[in-house]
Amino acid sequence: MESLRIYNTLARDKQTFAPLVPGVVRMYVCGMTVYDYCHVGHARVMVVFDIVQRWLRTLGYDVTYVRNITDIDDKIIRRAVENGETIRALTDRFIAALHEDADALGVQRPDHEPRATQYIPQMLDMIGKLEQNGYAYQGKDGDVNYAVRKFAHYGALSGKSLEDLRAGERVATNDAKQDPLDFVLWKQAKPEEPADTSWDSKYGRGRPGWHIECSAMGCTLLGDHFDIHGGGQDLQFPHHENEIAQSEGATGKTFVNTWMHNGFVNIDNEKMSKSLGNFFTIREVLAKYDAEVVRFFMARAHYRSPLNYSDVHLDDAKNALTRLYTALKDAAPDANPLDWNEAYAQRFQAAMNDDFNTPVAIAVLFELATEVNRTGEPALARQLQQLARVIGVLVREPRAFLQQAAGAQEAGALDVAAIEAQIAARTAAKQAKQYAEADRIRAELLDAGVALEDKPGGLTEWRRV
C-alpha cells in the first residue's frame, strides 16, 4: 500500500507525508472568530479537517489536533458594544453555538481548543523575542509592528513577492509604520473601547493582532516546529504567511512542514462570506437538510476544490446518501471488524492516501453498495458501513435515516404515527380488495414525501423522499 501523500501548499506539490516524530502527528487548524453564527464556509473547514484527523488516526498515528478560537478582535468588540454585553458573554454564546453546529455535523472535538484570550502572556513573550531579534518595532502610535522586509522568506507560502505586494497597494498607508507592508503584532487600546478588550504590557495597554494569536497558540501547544497547519484557502495570505514570518522570526526554526488549504464554498461562482453578505448559516441549512446529508455533500468534493453550494446539489447529496443507506437496509452487516485486506477497502485506502481523495473513496462505496444490493452479503455490508464510518457517514441505523424528516424538523412533514395509520388503512383496504383506495393512500403519502415499499409476507416499509 502506498504511503500517505499530501498536497503541501508551501511546496506546491504532493509530498509523501513523514511526521517529525515517527507515529506522531501534531496538527493545527485555524478556527472561527466568534461574533456570529458559523456559516457553510466554516462548516467546510470543520468537516474537511475532521476527515483529515480521522484518517490520520485510522492509519495508526497518535494525533494531537488543535483548532483555535479567536475570541478577541475588532468585529467582536464592535458587536459586543452594539449588543451592550461583555466580550466574554458574546463569545461564550457563539462558542456554544459553534459546538452545537459542529456536533450536529459529526465533527469530533479537537484535542485542544484554545481561546486567544487565554494565551496573551505567550503572545507578548513571542513579540518580545521578535523585538530582540530585530523583527518588531513600536510605532509612533504605540502599536507594535512586524518589519516584513527583514524576513528573507516572506511570500514563500503565497508566492507573492514584496514588489508585487507594494505595487498592488494591498496594505493601507500608515505613517506610524516603517513600511506599509508591515503588520501589527500589538494594538494600543483606544479610550472608547471597553476595559475587557485590552491587557497590560510593556508596550502599553492593548490587545494582540490576529496573526500573532495563532503563532503563539500553535507553538505553545505543539512546539516551535510541527507537522501540519491547515485552514481555508483565504488564510494562505496574509494570515498564514504572517504566521510563518512571526514564528520563524521568533524561534529561528522551521514553523510547519506541511501546509493544507481547503477550497472556497461558492454561491454563483463567488466565495461565500459574511463580508459579501451571500452566506447561509449552518443552522439555516440544518433547518432544511439533515446534518449527515450536509456532511456527505462536503465529503463528495475534494477538499482543495471549490464547492458550489445550492439546494440542487444538496438534494443530489441526499439522494446519493439515501442509496447507500438503502443498500444497508436489508443486508445486515456482520459483527466482524473492518477488513483492510479486502479489495474494496484497499481501493478506499489508496484513495484516502492520495491527498485525502474523498470523491474517489466515495465512488468505491457506491460500487460496494451495488454489490451489497446484488448479493445481500453481510460481510460486504459490514465493509460498506465501516468504510463509510471512517469519514463520518452511514453512522445511523438505516431506517432511522430513511424515515427521518429533512432538517431539524421539516415543517408540515407527516409524523410517524400519521404515516403508520395511513399504512394500516391501506393494508385494510387491500385486504378488503379495495385496490383503488389502497392506490389512493399510496399516492397521497407520496405527495406528502413518503414512499412505500411492499415486502414479502404483507409487510410494508416506508421512507421519506
- The predicted-structure confidence for 421-462, as pLDDT tens digits, reads as follows 888 778 877 788 887 887 898 888 888 888 888 888 778 888
Q: What DSSP string describes 29-50?
A: E---B-SS--BHHHHHHHHHHH
Question: Domain 5-267's class?
Answer: alpha beta
pLDDT greater than 70 at residue 316: yes
Give the pLDDT mean for 261-289.
84
pLDDT greater than 60 at residue 169: no
In the numeric block, which cell numbers belong to residue 280?
Answer: 447561509
Which carries the bigger pLDDT value, residue 286 or residue 430? 286
The CA-atom distances, in angstroms, between 5 and each of 13, 27, 301, 350 are 10, 16, 18, 10
Evaluate whether 215 touches 250 at the Cβ level (below 8 Å): yes
pLDDT of residue 173: 58
pLDDT of residue 278: 75
243 is in an annotated binding site: yes
- The predicted-structure confidence for 388-399, as pLDDT tens digits, reads as follows 999 999 999 999
- The predicted-structure confidence for 83-140, as pLDDT tens digits, reads as follows 999 999 999 999 999 999 999 999 999 999 999 999 999 999 999 999 999 999 999 9
pLDDT of residue 170: 47
Which carries the bigger pLDDT value, residue 444 or residue 10? 10
Out of 3.30.1490.20, 3.40.50.1100, 1.20.120.640, 2.30.30.30, the CATH code matching 287-402 is: 1.20.120.640
Measured CA angle at 167 (ends 163, 170), to 5 deg: 100
Among the listed residues 107, 67, 90, 40, the one whose alpha carbon sits nearest the alpha carbon of residue 280: 40
Domains 5-267 and 287-402 share a fold: no
> Domain ranges in the chain?
5-267, 287-402, 416-464
Which carries the bigger pLDDT value, residue 133 or residue 175? 133
pLDDT of residue 412: 64
The verdict on whether omega for the bond into residue 180 sits within 30 degrees of 0, i.e. cis, is no
pLDDT of residue 408: 46
pLDDT greater than 70 at residue 223: yes
| C-alpha 264, offset from chain centre | 11
Counting residues of the chain whose pLDDT is more than 90, the rounded percentage is 78
pLDDT of residue 406: 66
- Residue 407 pLDDT level (bands cut at 50, 70, 90): low
pLDDT greater than 80 at residue 23: yes
Contacts of 125 (CB under 8 A, 6+ apart): 216
Among the listed residues 146, 112, 95, 127, the one whose alpha carbon sits nearest the alpha carbon of residue 207: 127
Which carries the bigger pLDDT value, residue 1 or residue 464? 464
In this predicted structure, which of 1-10, 94-103, 201-210, 365-374 has the lowest mean pLDDT?
1-10
Give the pLDDT mean for 377-400.
96
**Mean residue pLDDT across the chain:** 92
- The predicted-structure confidence for 38-64, as pLDDT tens digits, reads as follows 999 999 999 999 999 999 999 999 999
- Residue 171 pLDDT level (bands cut at 50, 70, 90): very low
In this predicted structure, which of 27-31, 68-72, 272-276, 385-389 has the lowest mean pLDDT?
272-276
274 is in an annotated binding site: yes
pLDDT greater than 80 at residue 33: yes
In this predicted structure, which of 225-239, 341-355, 382-396, 442-456 has the lowest mean pLDDT?
442-456
